[in-house]
Amino acid sequence: MLIRQIVLSDNEFNTIRTLVYDLCSIDLHPSKKALVQMRLSNRIRILGLNSFSEYLRWVANDASGKELGAMVDSLTTNLTSFFRERPHFVYLTEKMSSLEVKRVPRLRIWSAGCSSGEEPYSIAMILRDLWSDIDAMDVRILATDISSNMIRLARQGTYSAQKLEKVPFTFRQKYFGKVNTAKDEKYQVKPEVSRLVYFRRHNLTGPWPMKGPFEVIFCRNVMIYFDRVAQQELASRFYNILSPGGVLIVGHSEGLTGLEHSFQYVRPSVYMKRS
Ligand SMILES: C[S@@+](CC[C@H](N)C(=O)[O-])C[C@H]1O[C@@H](n2cnc3c(N)ncnc32)[C@H](O)[C@@H]1O
């Protein structure tokens, strides 16, 4: 069956571009027009509408902002995996092992732009494995994402066998339990790991209700979608909410080069707030 194309005019594209930029600083370059047309055509069909002009009226009339959120959701990339960019987790293990944990009254880690949860759960598995008495410690991982859909999936913490391939074998054995769904076999993160992680929907370019300070912030493969102004602003806000000696970890293909900041370079894509 042929799926009918829904035409997206340049004016409509520019309206969408402005809406998305104003909400979350994601800059949709004109080269993304075909992608926007394809992804939002699906939303338009789901809502039973016929054109982009009808859709934009729908978004404007939705005072709850829910459809605007769904729009951003269909335009962003949520690609992630357990232990993605593994050297960062090696670094985390080294940094955490060197802490004199018993003397650290409180440890806060933030996974900003956590997608479907693989990143914060990878962090939680490392910490749980490192400290057998972690339940007696004040350790929390805050995991946030702009997408309500991703936060819902992340909270479920249920993954296919294929998604677990990147999880080290011993962690797979210890920290996941098999669940049988009507369709297939899945694996769920065990409570001893999931209870370390607090998921919240949060827009990085909006207000920050969290107080910190954080010892480690992961914000990987998120800033890449923002323009320079938003990246600069984010780097400064991360600096302010880290504790002295705390680190910001960005994606391997990202970096703070070209931005003004006071971080000390530690290794590729790892930056420390000076003590
Ligand atoms: C490519 S994923 C990266 C996931 C994970 N950090 C990783 O590296 O595997 C990017 C995530 O950033 C989220 N995101 C994009 N803009 C955001 C914003 N303004 N505030 C919070 N999250 C945002 C997206 O919803 C998406 O889940």
Task: Decide: 120 in ligand 1 pocket, CB within 6 A.
Answer: no
- Residue 211 carries which DSSP code? -
So what's the pLDDT on residue 65?
Answer: 83
Please say whether the beta carbons of 67 and 58 come within 8 A.
yes
Regarding whether 133 and 50 lie in a shared domain, the answer is no
The predicted-structure confidence for 47-88, as pLDDT tens digits, reads as follows 999 999 999 999 999 988 889 988 988 888 889 999 999 999
So what's the pLDDT on residue 174?
Answer: 96
The tally of domains found in the chain comes to 2
So what's the pLDDT on residue 158?
Answer: 96
DSSP element (H, E) containing 231? helix 228-241
Task: Decide: 231 in ligand 1 pocket, CB within 6 A.
Answer: no
Between the CA of 213 and the centroid of ligand 1 the distance, in Å, is: 21
Query: For ligand 1, atom 2, which residue shows the shortest CA distance?
Result: 78
Task: Give the pTM.
Answer: 0.92
- 210 vs 183 pLDDT, higher one: 210
Task: Decide: 122 in ligand 1 pocket, CB within 6 A.
Answer: no
Between the CA of 127 and the centroid of ligand 1 the distance, in Å, is: 23
DSSP element (H, E) containing 148? helix 148-156
The catalytic site residues sit at 39, 145
Please say whether the beta carbons of 23 and 72 come within 8 A.
yes
Task: Give CA–CA dist 63/77, Å, rounded.
Answer: 25
Between the CA of 78 and the centroid of ligand 1 the distance, in Å, is: 6
- Residue 164 carries which DSSP code? G
Regarding whether 94 and 66 lie in a shared domain, the answer is no
Determine, yes or no, domain membership for 4.
no
Task: Give CA–CA dist 85/268, Å, rounded.
Answer: 11
Task: Decide: 151 in ligand 1 pocket, CB within 6 A.
Answer: no
The predicted-structure confidence for 166-193, as pLDDT tens digits, reads as follows 999 999 999 999 997 767 789 999 999 9
Please say whether the beta carbons of 190 and 172 come within 8 A.
no
Task: Give CA–CA dist 243/108, Å, rounded.
Answer: 10
Q: What is the CATH number of the domain that holds 62?
A: 1.10.155.10
Task: Give CA–CA dist 86/76, Å, rounded.
Answer: 23
pLDDT for residue 215 is more than 70: yes
Instruction: Return the C-alpha torsion angle 270, 142, 123, 232, nearest 10.
Output: -20
So what's the pLDDT on residue 249?
Answer: 98
Please say whether the beta carbons of 142 and 210 come within 8 A.
yes
Task: Decide: 207 in ligand 1 pocket, CB within 6 A.
Answer: no
Between the CA of 220 and the centroid of ligand 1 the distance, in Å, is: 8
Please say whether the beta carbons of 221 and 165 come within 8 A.
no
Task: Give CA–CA dist 69/60, Å, rounded.
Answer: 12
Determine, yes or no, domain membership for 169.
yes
Q: What is the CATH number of the domain that holds 237?
A: 3.40.50.150
Q: Which of 41, 75, 109 finishes a domain?
A: 75
Task: Give CA–CA dist 41/175, Å, rounded.
Answer: 40
Between the CA of 224 and the centroid of ligand 1 the distance, in Å, is: 10
Regarding whether 115 and 95 lie in a shared domain, the answer is yes
**Atom number of ligand 1 nearest to Cα 24:** 19
Task: Decide: 116 in ligand 1 pocket, CB within 6 A.
Answer: no
Regarding whether 93 and 22 lie in a shared domain, the answer is no
The predicted-structure confidence for 26-48, as pLDDT tens digits, reads as follows 889 899 999 999 999 989 999 99
The predicted-structure confidence for 91-150, as pLDDT tens digits, reads as follows 999 999 887 655 667 899 999 999 999 999 999 999 999 998 899 889 999 999 999 889
Task: Give CA–CA dist 12/36, Å, rounded.
Answer: 11
Share of the chain above pLDDT 90, in %: 72
Share of the chain above pLDDT 70, in %: 96
Task: List alpha helices for 7-135, DSSP H.
Answer: 10-24, 33-46, 52-61, 66-75, 87-98, 118-130
Task: Decide: 88 in ligand 1 pocket, CB within 6 A.
Answer: no
Domain with 230, as residue range(s), is 87-272
Sequence-distant (≥ 6) Cβ neighbours of residue 92 within 8 angstroms = 123, 126, 216, 249
Between the CA of 156 and the centroid of ligand 1 the distance, in Å, is: 18
Please say whether the beta carbons of 224 and 255 come within 8 A.
no
So what's the pLDDT on residue 102?
Answer: 54
Mutate to test the pocket of ligand 1, among 76, 201, 222, 231 (most ligand atoms within 8 A of CB): 222
Regarding whether 160 and 32 lie in a shared domain, the answer is no
Q: At what angle do helices 66-75 and 33-46 cross, to 10 degrees?
A: 130
As given in the structure block, the two tokens for residue 75 are 């335009």
Task: Decide: 24 in ligand 1 pocket, CB within 6 A.
Answer: yes
